[in-house]
Amino acid sequence: MGSDGLVELDQECWVALAKYNLLLATGFGILALVSRTALSGNELLLIENGVLALLFGTVQTYAWLSA
């Protein structure tokens, strides 16, 4: 059983959460790159996807460390 002291989840849940967030972070990172290269003049979309990629990457890292 793995726990970080804040949320009580077993190790399988933390690993599943980490994999899901890795998928989301990768997807939003790719969308950020596509919006940067293919859609010029769309800075808001670039910023939004970059922030979401960073957010889900942070949650993914936290989940891996907690597992």
Three-state secondary structure of 6-45: CCECCHHHHHHHHHHHHHHHHHHHHHHHHHHHCCCCCHHH
Identify residue 22 by its one-letter amino acid code.
L
The answer, as to whether pTM is greater than 0.75, is no
Mean pLDDT of 1-22: 72
CB atoms within 10 A of CB 17: 19
- Residue 1 CA to residue 17 CA, distance in Å, equals 15
Domain edges within the chain: 11-66
21: closest CA among 57, 65, 66?
57
Per-residue pLDDT reduced to its tens digit, 15-57: 888 888 888 888 888 887 887 777 777 778 778 878 888 888 8
